[in-house]
């Protein structure tokens, strides 16, 4: 791949999540309505605030069925990384700039729930979603997709003697000095997920020493996934063959490659991954809650969910939706991805980020 397919591939940063951006432009997706707008709808437009990765994959077809069935136009407002998106929504809670938020993951979820920015909405299609993905019993948010943040490596770089690390522990070995780039957990969803994975692996009393060792071994820190993946990775012209990305990044490299390739150019280290769930929620106070709820219902339908694997390269939350063969072939499914209890995460997240900053960015 090269810059000719970069726009298409940028959506891999979804789970989950998570490229940088200025969030200044809204993308409108409209289809001609084939039915009259329902009387319960209070507006002809629903605005979705999302991270840039999701917005980058939206086309005129993404919500065409929804628009045709309801007469409602969908506008997507990019807001940078998932963390920036949540912060912006909290700061504008008294006067919401959107009707729906999409792309908030479980690493930032408790912050938004505690800020009270969502109105409850229980979709009837939750019957097709595994219970373990429904983290909020009050239904203030609805799970839409899931994925895993994992270390990606340059297969070609490690084909000449040096083998890729097998786990997080080996990243501190001398042979991997100056090879790793990570995103900051203060500004990036995958960066936070990677920090949480190190905490889950080394414990609340051991992760600090691990990060000190990474610093000694030359880890590079950037603000967002887009910078890490495109500016720093060796397969995109940088000098870092180890990048915090996603287990589903390799199939995107294959499917969008120009000229075409038969095999992935990147591999996944499946030890030390962190599982993420992405949610959508109705933003409280927008005055458009009915239409917003209708859109969230649509996002759980097979029509929308079937677009997820080969557009945003994560797994649909609706387990009745079949997965494309090419997605299954090239995507790594970690056997035991790390996860932290949401209550533990809520209690410690800000303190962990502060500690990390003192260690890594003194």
Is residue 44 scored above 80 in pLDDT?
Answer: yes
Q: Answer for the pair 123, 297: CB distance below 8 angstroms, yes or no.
A: yes
Query: Which of 140, 193, 142 is CA-nearest to residue 340?
Result: 193
Domain 3-146+277-330, CATH 3.40.50.720 — does that match? no
Q: Answer for the pair 54, 76: CB distance below 8 angstroms, yes or no.
A: yes
Q: Report pLDDT for 52.
A: 87
**3-146+277-330 matches 148-275+333-360 in fold:** yes
Write out the H or E segment, with its range, that includes residue 236: none
Is residue 118 scored above 90 in pLDDT?
Answer: yes
Q: What percent of the chain has pLDDT over 70?
A: 88
Would you place residue 252 in the very low, low, confident or very high pLDDT band (cuts 50, 70, 90)? confident
Rg (CA), the chain: 20
Question: Which is the CATH superfamily of the domain at 148-275+333-360?
Answer: Periplasmic binding protein-like II (3.40.190.10)
Backbone angles phi, psi at 346, to 5 degrees: -65, -40
User: Residues 7-16: what's their mean pLDDT?
Assistant: 40
pLDDT digits (tens, 9 = 90+) for 322-336: 999 989 988 989 989
Is residue 18 scored above 50 in pLDDT?
Answer: no
Q: What percent of the chain has pLDDT over 90?
A: 71
What residue ranges do the domains of the chain occupy? 3-146+277-330, 148-275+333-360
Q: Answer for the pair 346, 110: CB distance below 8 angstroms, yes or no.
A: yes
pLDDT, averaged across the chain: 88
Length of the chain: 362
Would you place residue 343 in the very low, low, confident or very high pLDDT band (cuts 50, 70, 90)? confident
User: Residues 99-128: what's their mean pLDDT?
Assistant: 94
Strands 242-246, 73-78: pairing kind: unpaired
| Spatial CB neighbours of 203, under 8 Å, sequence gap ≥ 6 | none
Higher pLDDT, 160 or 18: 160
| Spatial CB neighbours of 48, under 8 Å, sequence gap ≥ 6 | 74, 75, 76, 77, 98, 99, 100, 101, 102, 280, 295
pLDDT digits (tens, 9 = 90+) for 75-98: 999 998 788 899 999 999 999 999
The Cα 352–Cα 354 span in angstroms is: 5
Query: Which of 20, 27, 26, 101 is CA-nearest to residue 53?
Result: 20
User: Residues 104-109: what's their mean pLDDT?
Assistant: 89
């Amino acid at each position: 791949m090269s810059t000719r397919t970069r726009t298409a591939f940028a959506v891999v940063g979804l789970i989950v999540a998570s490229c940088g951006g200025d969030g200044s432009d809204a993308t409108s997706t409209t289809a001609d309505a084939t039915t009259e707008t329902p009387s319960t709808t209070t507006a002809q437009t629903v605005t979705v605030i999302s991270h840039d990765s999701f917005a980058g994959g939206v086309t005129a077809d993404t919500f065409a069925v929804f628009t045709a069935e309801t007469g409602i136009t969908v506008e997507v407002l990019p807001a940078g990384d998932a963390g920036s998106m949540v912060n912006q929504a909290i700061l504008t809670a008294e006067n919401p700039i959107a009707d729906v938020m999409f792309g908030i993951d479980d690493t930032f979820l408790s912050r938004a729930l505690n800020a009270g920015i969502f109105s409850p909405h229980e979709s009837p299609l939750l019957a097709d979603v595994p219970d373990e993905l429904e983290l909020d019993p009050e239904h203030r948010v609805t799970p839409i997709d899931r994925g895993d943040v994992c270390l990606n490596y340059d297969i070609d770089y490690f084909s000449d003697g040096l083998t890729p690390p097998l786990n997080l522990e080996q990243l501190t070995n001398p042979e991997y000095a100056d090879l790793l780039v990570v995103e900051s957990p203060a500004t990036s969803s995958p960066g936070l997920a990677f920090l949480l994975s190190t905490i889950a692996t080394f414990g609340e009393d051991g992760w600090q020493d691990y990060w000190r060792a990474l610093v000694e071994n030359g880890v590079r820190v950037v603000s967002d996934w887009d910078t890490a993946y495109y500016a720093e990775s060796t397969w995109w012209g940088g000098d870092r063959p180890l990048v915090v990305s996603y287990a589903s990044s390799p199939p995107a490299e294959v499917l969008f490659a120009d000229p075409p390739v038969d095999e992935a150019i990147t591999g996944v280290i499946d030890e030390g991954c962190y599982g993420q769930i992405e949610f959508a929620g109705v933003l409280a106070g927008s005055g458009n809650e009915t239409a917003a709820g209708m859109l969230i219902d649509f996002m759980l339908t097979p029509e929308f969910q079937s677009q997820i694997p080969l557009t945003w390269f994560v797994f649909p939350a609706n387990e009745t939706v079949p997965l494309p063969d090419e997605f299954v072939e090239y995507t790594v499914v970690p056997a035991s991805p790390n996860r932290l209890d949401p209550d533990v995460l809520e209690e410690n997240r800000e303190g962990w980020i502060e500690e990390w900053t003192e260690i890594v960015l003194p």
